Amino acid sequence: MATVLEQVHAALRLKSRALDDNEITPLIEACKADLRMHGVRRVDETDPLIARAIVLYCKAYFGYDDQGERWQACYDGLRDSMELSGDYREEDV
């Protein structure tokens, strides 16, 4: 399975790793912080829904295309669903 960074690269259609440290990785970390701020406590990058949320967040904020608002709405919906789900409200022990 591809790492979340690889998934973001594929979704943004990036071939170079030049932006990883200054752009992509900070976006991934910002997404994880946003998820936690909204009540998602189990933020595991290997979870398919968490990985999808990160990809959507990056597409919204990276400037991937002129559809940032669309990607943001998709992210918000997924994040809110996870926030309400008991599966994501408690950290794994």
pTM of the model: 0.89
- Segments forming the whole domain that contains residue 30: 4-89
Q: Rounded CA gap, 91 and 93, in Å?
A: 6
Low-confidence stretches of the chain (pLDDT < 70) are 64, 91-93
pLDDT of res. 30: 97
CA angle 14, 25, 93 (to 5 degrees): 125
Name the one residue in this structure whose structure tokens are 């998934």.
7
pLDDT attached to residue 93: 44
Question: What is the pLDDT at residue 91?
Answer: 64
CA–CA distance, 73 with 67 (Å, rounded to integer): 10
| Helix, strand, or coil (residue 2) | coil
- What is the C-alpha separation between 16 and 28, in angstroms, rounded? 17
For the chain, the domain total comes to: 1
